[in-house]
Amino acid sequence: MNERVAISIDSHVAEVTLNRADKLNALDIRMFEALGAAADRIAADRSLRAVVLSGAGGNFCAGIDLSVLANSELDFDAVLVTALEPSAANLFQRAAYAWRELPVPVICAIEGVAFGGGLQVALGADIRYAAVGAEFSIMEAKWGIIPDMGLSTTLRHLVAPDRVKELSWSARVFGSEEAQRLGLITSIAKDPLHMSRTLAAECAARSPQAVRGIKSLVNQAWQLSEKESLALEARLQRDIIGGENQIEAVEANLGRRQPQFKD
């Protein structure tokens, strides 16, 4: 792990912080690499039950560092087609899409700016809480490129296509209230980091199999036919019901005590 991303772990929750405050946490190559590596580290740790994703210094992420676009030595053809496991996402896409691929909930706290690639990283999360004064933009057209960090998958069920085109073509900056109306964020919070930590703790207190199953169900079912969705529900439930943690959830509730779940 390089210093572009900081990770701390406590009580089954990992906090992942974009750690380049002097550059508004802009995405250079090392940041792209560090975000993918952070997701890999979390995926390998079965004790983790939730993730809080945020940015240092009062901003989430200002988007791509222009040094990346100006780097004449970077082989964009190679970077953009390289398939990385476990998905077909390339280096740039994995910085955002890897959070969607994680089996555990990812809650994103947004302060300051979430522009371009920064917004796409946030869209990879399951939940997005934003500060009142946060600002957003699908800004790629300003630099003569398209949004290519998984937005075509993470935004498709949140915002209508015509609005995505308008926001992308104009590259305009908009605030939290409009972001919430559009469906880009889950809600506005006075303290989005505290709200993210609270929800992460609530997720970590639930049966890990149930929480992971809910994420898997919602992420997959919206792309499936009704028949396939019903089958998915049944398959996921068969894997959970009657298991040790499911029984513990029932017994703890009936006994009015805190459950003790196994990873």
262 pLDDT above the threshold of 60: yes
* pTM of structure: 0.92
Contact 193, 15 (CB under 8 A): no
DSSP H helices, 61-191, are 66-69, 76-81, 91-101, 117-123, 151-154, 161-170, 176-182
Q: What is the pLDDT of residues 149-179, one digit of tens each?
A: 999 999 999 999 999 999 999 999 999 999 9
> What is the predicted pLDDT for the residue at 83?
54
Burial (CB < 10 A; 0-12, 13-18, 19+), residue 11, is exposed
Separation between Cα atoms, residue 29 and residue 172, nearest integer Å: 25
Q: Which residue has the higher pLDDT, 69 or 202?
A: 202
Mean pLDDT (whole number) for 189-218: 98
Contact 100, 127 (CB under 8 A): no
| End-to-end Cα, the chain, rounded Å | 24
Mean pLDDT (whole number) for 92-102: 95
> What is the predicted pLDDT for the residue at 68?
77
Mean pLDDT (whole number) for 26-40: 95
> What is the predicted pLDDT for the residue at 100?
96
> What is the predicted pLDDT for the residue at 82?
56
Element (DSSP H or E) covering residue 52: strand 50-55
Contact 179, 185 (CB under 8 A): yes
> What is the predicted pLDDT for the residue at 89?
78
Mean pLDDT (whole number) for 214-238: 96
Amino acid (one-letter) located at 13: V
Average pLDDT over all residues of the chain: 93
Lowest mean pLDDT among 58-62, 75-79, 101-105, 157-161: 75-79
Q: What confidence category does residue 197 fall into, taking pLDDT thresholds of 50, 70 and 90?
A: very high
Q: What is the pLDDT of residues 9-23, one digit of tens each?
A: 999 999 999 999 999
Amino acid (one-letter) located at 53: L
Buried-state track 176-194, b at ≥16 Cβ within 10 A, e below 16: beebeebebbbebbeebbe
The domains of the chain, with CATH numbers, are 5-203 (3.90.226.10), 207-254 (1.10.12.10)
73 pLDDT above the threshold of 80: no
Mean pLDDT (whole number) for 134-158: 95
> What is the predicted pLDDT for the residue at 79?
62
Percentage of the chain surpassing pLDDT 90? 88
Report CA dihedral (170, 155, 161, 91) to the nearest 10 degrees: 70
